[in-house]
Structure 1
Amino acid sequence: MKTWLLASAALLALGAGSAALAQDVPDNMKKLQGMQSTGTSMDFRTVEQTGEYADQLKENLKNVKLPDGFKIDLYAVVPDARHIAVGPQGVATFVGTRKQNVWVVTDRDKNRSADEVKEFAPSIDFAIPNGVCFSKDGFLYIAEQNRVLVLPAAEFFYESPDVAVGVVVDKGDLVPASEESFNHTARVCRIGPDDRLYISLGQPYNVPPKEKSELYAKEGIGGIISMKRDGTDRQVYATGIRNSVGMEFSPGDGKLWFTDNQVDGMGDDIPPGEINKIEKAGQNFGFPWYGGGDIRTEEYKDEEVPADVVAPQATTIAHAADLGMDFYDAQSFPEKYRGGIFSAQHGSWNRTEPVGARVMFTPVGEDGTAGEPEVFADGWLNESGEYLGRPVDVEVMKDGSLLVSDDLAGALYRISYDK
């Protein structure tokens, strides 16, 4: 059963998809959906923003190399920081994790550094709430491992432990219980120009067995699904995707672009990572016939490749783990970067010599096609092969600066340009 939220200019009302709430909904969720207090303590878990740890992160940032005119600063200490959603009012920034917390970051004095980082909605039990995304009208969506929630007016309610919440996809209905894995379950979400909700569903294998093909095609596992914002009219939007942990709609033509992590265990230099563009619903991007780019997988090398497979717009170095991405649609960076894609490379585990742990830039031409990716911010992987940080996501802020999340160091960084 589904519940959803309806908003009007003056009122915010919580509606239920049926007359009674499901019996397995925890009591606190029933109360929140009924706009009732749960009795959760106002004593929020907060994160210290000064001291020895913050000082060391600032010291580590001295290793990061940027193009001339750019600088990077510590914006916030945020444990396990993954995907970022900047509130449309610019009041607060919400940060997902692969654990059980969502964090809310506030820069109250607007000095471009966080004053407060605290746990968001502590009365809700989250499970891998990696995917956070906003609609333009202020609804925060959280895509968990196997549930999707919507929280209206999150930039207002975040001051309280209790928040208005609706269930878009019930627990256990995002993917079948049989496919609820520990692997590739960091979901990402976006609201499209069509006002629909888009969610990536990584498949749990390195290369899935053939007997899973029919189920995965039906459910959109190893693909991207879309639905109305109330969770109805679920559709499979794209297939042939191994594990996308970054996607964004182009501000130019409104097309959905996404990164894709490719097959492990094929060697240091193959297959490449991918940046892809979806031109229309139903397109197939080649996995598992291809492990990345035009490199065939061993498991499917004798299988006929579908004729309609779409090649990537751009490829990246093998095993760098391309994750979050965002289009630069602001004005404060030089003209070169406007309309292009910033993306985070988390860094390799499956390589003799590690690569990645950096922020990339990919230009996008007036014709809507991608140019060659280039390194933009580098230095979280030092010369001895030690990770000082692992970038996960990037998000353009209201002032045109770029936020970068790091789940190893547990931080958000702010990259700005000084003309």
Structure 2
Amino acid sequence: MRNYLLASAAFLAGTVLAHAQAQAPVPDNLEKLSSFQSTGVTEFTYVPQTGDYADGIKKNLERIKMPEGFKIALYAVVPDARHMAVGPQGIVTFVGTRKDKVWSVTDRNKDRVADEVKDFAPSLKFAIPNGPCFSKDGFLYIAEQNRVLVYPAAEFFYESPDVAAFNVVKQGELIPPSEESYNHTARVCKLGPDGKLYISLGQPFNVAPPEKLDLYNQWGIGGMIRINTDGTGREVYTYGIRNSVGHDFHPVTGELWFTDNQVDGMGDDIPPGEINRQTAPGQHFGAPWYGGGSVRTNEYAGQEVPVDVVMPAVEMVAHAADLGMTFYTGSMFPAKYKNAIFSAQHGSWNRTTPVGARVMVTFIDDEGNARSEPFAEGWIDENGEYLGRPVDVAQLRDGSILVSDDLAGALYRIWYEGN
């Protein structure tokens, strides 16, 4: 069974790819959509939700271990599923990828299993649209490799191939085009308590070289920026991040918390991964002088650190690749999970024996002290083979959570049935 999922994933990817290649190339229709004009695109790509492929994923979920009373099931088959944004109306969940698709996932009969998965806005060309996020009033933002678009009323327009779409950050203005890379380009966005848009910008190197630091600090590369929702007022909010692919705001304090992926090539057990807590604008979290936690990078070893560094709130196991995270605000789970962080460990290529491939939970006390423990695990089998690689966690309106998996190409739903 452990090889079944990988073979099935390859089959499904080939089917979707063949369908896409059979269609004519999609022109850049943003100007038409911004003027509420039709583009002439009429076809969607639909993803089958039943059959042998889905059955194989369900079989693998029998291995997953969680605390007593929790259940997990396949919610949707979603190729290359990365970060998720659940619509405020509870109608549709949008799922980004590191390729050229955004998927819309709909549970029409509300049986807590998706009925339909189709591509969102097929009349547009996307470039690594990893990061969707919603405002409370229903505006969908999608952070791509080098632009940010907004889709008003996306939960309703998504039924058509043409959707109203507008620039927030134009193509080529999120980062300098000269700094576009194939590495660390998966952006994540969230709306903060201040109503502003917070976007992480991973720097492309394992360890950023000295000659790049001034430019990166200016743009917020290797950090996080915040902007008004119309794209104005850009400022660098966070410095010294290697590659953060998950952040959220504490429901009570409003403080920004985020994961960070740390330096490769230093051995199996160092440096640690991080979950960080930011308490003020402009704080620095150590990169490139630190590789993770208090571990200094080889490239900057012995050098004086020229900034005040905030150390992580929690050190995670090395090379587990901590990615998406969300604070739990629902009422379905037991009370101890209220305002805890659920986060996904994707697992890194840079470890002899794989770790991660699980969902973690981080509990935070009233003073901001945090501790983490595994919540759902079992996606690495006894041979050290990945059966899935969790990417992100999102909360549904009923208080259950979704977990995305870009290896299996799936969303899982976790709910509680205990007392």
Partner amino acid, structure 2, of 1:28 = N
The aligned counterpart of 1:75 is 75
The aligned counterpart of 2:416 is 417
The aligned counterpart of 1:320 is 320
Partner amino acid, structure 2, of 1:280 = A
* Distance in structure 2 (CA, Å) of the matches to 1:417 and 1:279: 32
The aligned counterpart of 1:39 is 40
| Corresponding residue SS for 1:127 | coil
Cα shift at 1:229: 0.4
C-alpha distance 27-275 of structure 1, shift in aligned 2 (>3 A): closer
Cα shift at 1:53: 0.3
| Corresponding residue SS for 1:216 | helix
* Distance in structure 1 (CA, Å) of the matches to 2:267 and 2:382: 22
| Corresponding residue SS for 2:218 | helix
| Corresponding residue SS for 2:364 | coil
Cα shift at 1:27: 5.6
Cα shift at 1:366: 1.8
The aligned counterpart of 2:5 is none
| Corresponding residue SS for 2:236 | strand
C-alpha distance 199-295 of structure 1, shift in aligned 2 (>3 A): same
1:92-128 per-residue CA deviation (whole Å, 9 max, x = no partner) reads 0000000000000000000000000000000010000
* Distance in structure 2 (CA, Å) of the matches to 1:353 and 1:211: 35
| Corresponding residue SS for 2:29 | helix
Greater alpha carbon shift after TM alignment, 301-310 vs 59-68: 301-310
* Distance in structure 2 (CA, Å) of the matches to 1:405 and 1:88: 19
* Distance in structure 2 (CA, Å) of the matches to 1:197 and 1:211: 29
Work out whether residues 319 and 355 of structure 2, in 8 Å CA contact, stay in contact via their aligned partners in 1. yes
The aligned counterpart of 1:29 is 30
Alignment size in residue pairs: 392
Work out whether residues 28 and 124 of structure 2, in 8 Å CA contact, stay in contact via their aligned partners in 1. no
Work out whether residues 28 and 125 of structure 2, in 8 Å CA contact, stay in contact via their aligned partners in 1. no
Cα shift at 1:30: 1.2
The aligned counterpart of 1:268 is 268
Greater alpha carbon shift after TM alignment, 300-309 vs 287-296: 300-309
1:210-252 per-residue CA deviation (whole Å, 9 max, x = no partner) reads 0001101101000000011011111000100000000001111
Work out whether residues 284 and 307 of structure 2, in 8 Å CA contact, stay in contact via their aligned partners in 1. no
1:136-189 per-residue CA deviation (whole Å, 9 max, x = no partner) reads 010000000001000000000000000011101111111111110000000000
Partner amino acid, structure 2, of 1:399 = D
Query: What's the % identity of the aligned pairs?
Result: 69
* Distance in structure 2 (CA, Å) of the matches to 1:54 and 1:156: 28
Work out whether residues 98 and 130 of structure 1, in 8 Å CA contact, stay in contact via their aligned partners in 2. yes
| Corresponding residue SS for 2:225 | strand
Partner amino acid, structure 1, of 2:400 = S
* Distance in structure 1 (CA, Å) of the matches to 2:197 and 2:376: 31
| Corresponding residue SS for 1:384 | coil
| Corresponding residue SS for 1:299 | helix
The aligned counterpart of 1:10 is none
Partner amino acid, structure 1, of 2:207 = V
TM-score, structure 2 normalization: 0.93
Work out whether residues 75 and 411 of structure 2, in 8 Å CA contact, stay in contact via their aligned partners in 1. yes
The aligned counterpart of 1:381 is 380
C-alpha distance 399-213 of structure 1, shift in aligned 2 (>3 A): same
| Corresponding residue SS for 1:363 | strand
The aligned counterpart of 2:227 is 227
Cα shift at 1:348: 2.0
Partner amino acid, structure 2, of 1:178 = S
| Runs of 4+ displaced beyond 3 Å | none
Work out whether residues 253 and 368 of structure 1, in 8 Å CA contact, stay in contact via their aligned partners in 2. no
Question: Which aligned pairs between 1:103-182 and structure 2 lie closer than 5 A?
Answer: 103-182=103-182
* Distance in structure 2 (CA, Å) of the matches to 1:235 and 1:303: 28
1:236-286 per-residue CA deviation (whole Å, 9 max, x = no partner) reads 001000000000011111111000000000000000000001101000001
Cα shift at 1:51: 0.5
* Distance in structure 1 (CA, Å) of the matches to 2:137 and 2:155: 11
* Distance in structure 2 (CA, Å) of the matches to 1:228 and 1:202: 20
1:377-410 per-residue CA deviation (whole Å, 9 max, x = no partner) reads 0000111010000000001110000100000000
Work out whether residues 85 and 95 of structure 1, in 8 Å CA contact, stay in contact via their aligned partners in 2. yes
The aligned counterpart of 2:280 is 280
Partner amino acid, structure 2, of 1:267 = G
* Distance in structure 2 (CA, Å) of the matches to 1:360 and 1:28: 40
C-alpha distance 27-348 of structure 1, shift in aligned 2 (>3 A): closer
| Corresponding residue SS for 1:274 | strand
The aligned counterpart of 1:402 is 401
The aligned counterpart of 2:191 is 191
Question: Which aligned pairs between 1:226-305 and structure 2 lie closer than 5 A?
Answer: 226-305=226-305
Cα shift at 1:336: 1.6
* Distance in structure 2 (CA, Å) of the matches to 1:92 and 1:35: 22
Cα shift at 1:369: 2.8
Greater alpha carbon shift after TM alignment, 248-257 vs 304-313: 304-313
Structure 2 segments unaligned to the other structure (5+ residues): 1-26
Partner amino acid, structure 1, of 2:242 = R
Partner amino acid, structure 2, of 1:390 = R
* Distance in structure 1 (CA, Å) of the matches to 2:303 and 2:217: 17
Partner amino acid, structure 2, of 1:402 = I
| Corresponding residue SS for 1:60 | helix
Task: Provide the aligned C-alpha RMSD in A.
Answer: 0.8
Partner amino acid, structure 2, of 1:258 = F
Cα shift at 1:302: 2.4
* Distance in structure 2 (CA, Å) of the matches to 1:391 and 1:357: 6
Work out whether residues 258 and 277 of structure 2, in 8 Å CA contact, stay in contact via their aligned partners in 1. yes
Partner amino acid, structure 1, of 2:415 = S
Cα shift at 1:135: 0.3
Question: Which aligned pairs between 1:328-343 and structure 2 lie closer than 5 A?
Answer: 328-343=328-343
| Corresponding residue SS for 2:326 | strand
The aligned counterpart of 1:95 is 95
* Distance in structure 1 (CA, Å) of the matches to 2:288 and 2:209: 9
